[in-house]
Amino acid sequence: MGRLYQQPERVLGTLYQPAPFDDEDHAVKERDRCDYSVKITLEMAKAGRAPRPVRVYADGIYDLFHQGHARQLMQAKNLFPNVYLIVGVCSDALTHSRKGCTVMNESERYEGVRHCRYVDEVVRDAPWQLDDEFTAKHKIDFVAHDEEPYTTGSGEDVYAFLKQKGMFVATQRTEGVSTSDIVARIVKDYDVYVRRNLERGYSAKELNVGFINEKKFKLQTKMDSLKTRGKRVLENFQEKREGILHKWEDKSREFIHSFLLLFGKDGRLSSMWNESRGRILRALSPPGTPRRDDNGSCSSSGNSDDLDGNFNYDENDMDQPPVKSRKLDDGSSVGTTNGRHATPDTSTTSYYSAKGSNDYSDDEA
């Protein structure tokens, strides 16, 4: 029970402080406390029957520490119920001779690994290939790595003897991400990152950029800045244009509505015209000339006035031309209406003829 109780305390400590190096006091005490004479088989570890924490070792270069590295260490930490994870990091000299140049130096890579939450201990200057002496010194029970043979051009898998001894446990490699992939992205977009750092205050000398390339990159940066500003201006103009169009549509609807209210078929102006048309027609068309009818009364060619003084008119009267008359040989006149000759009023002629004859007779008397 004491050992099971101490494990959470040790794990919680690594969550609030970096993992210790293998030569620091905490790591040394933990190693001394481990009874390495008790061998733990793979079956015991998987079943959770190990009498002590299972010491699992994982190694690598861990340059540009990324999520692929973190996932590999997480898998190693969770291989068994109670794991003490030791991580070995190769030095610059060994890495450069075996694999090539790194972006980060060894100190940066050590610090990157020891700040990973899954790591309990870090071994600096780890060997390229493990042996019995190293595993015994650090009391390693199992080694975790992906199953692909790791030869680095030598033709021999560096984990072959661990696989033969049953000390190898496979982890899954994270596809699509690696240090080489990240470096390839930087090389591919070299100009972009050089311009980025020049904008952030790095000198051309620090970036190992020549004078001509420096001016070229700065010119490209200014051109991109102008393009960005122009794009923003166009976007702002587009927004204002859309706002103006919306306002114009609203105003046009109001204008069309007002226009129809005033000039439409049932609009105000049409109603006013219908109401005042009679008055306008009376002003432009005076009443026709009165004439006598057979009863001896006078009547106009159109409708007579009302007794109350209101004038009733007929629109047909406006279409007829005025009555014309011409004199006959006997002194009477004939009217012409709409191109037709009117019959002379014989009663009136007879009346005046008779009256004239009587007058003449009186004179003779």
Helix, coil or strand: residue 299 = strand
CB 24 within 8 A of CB 32: no
DSSP alpha helix (H) spans, 49-102:
67-77, 92-98
Higher pLDDT, 353 or 51: 51
Extract the tokens encoding 336: 């012409």
Higher pLDDT, 94 or 221: 94
Nearest to 116 by CA among 89, 146, 150, 96: 89
pLDDT recorded at residue 195: 84
- Provide the terminal-to-terminal Cα distance of the chain, rounded to the nearest Å: 178
CB 337 within 8 A of CB 320: yes
Extract the tokens encoding 2: 């004491």
Once rounded to an integer, what is the mean pLDDT over residues 212-240? 80
Q: What is the mean pLDDT of the chain?
A: 78
Please write the tens of the pLDDT for every residue from 186-209. 999 988 888 888 888 888 888 888
pLDDT for residue 4 is more than 90: no
Q: Which amino acid is at 167?
A: M
Q: Which amino acid is at 329?
A: D
pLDDT for residue 11 is more than 50: no
pLDDT for residue 71 is more than 70: yes
Kind and range of the H or E run holding 278: helix 268-284
Range with the poorest average pLDDT among 75-79, 154-158, 240-244, 298-302: 298-302
Task: In whole angstroms, give the CA distance from residue 282 to residue 312.
Answer: 9
Residue ranges covered by each domain of the chain: 2-187, 189-261
Which pLDDT band, with edges at 50, 70 and 90, does 269 fall under? low
| Residue 291 CA: distances (Å) to CA of 82, 281, 309 | 134, 23, 20
Exposed/middle/buried for 207, CB within 10 Å: 0-12, 13-18, 19+? middle
Which phi and psi (to 5°) does residue 65 adopt?
-45, 120
Task: In whole angstroms, give the CA distance from residue 127 to residue 134.
Answer: 9
CB 80 within 8 A of CB 52: no
Task: In whole angstroms, give the CA distance from residue 57 to residue 123.
Answer: 10
Nearest to 80 by CA among 46, 49, 55, 30: 46
Higher pLDDT, 15 or 7: 15
Domain 2-187, CATH? 3.40.50.620
pLDDT recorded at residue 359: 47
Once rounded to an integer, what is the mean pLDDT over residues 11-20? 72
Please write the tens of the pLDDT for every residue from 294-329. 555 555 444 444 444 444 545 454 445 555 555 555
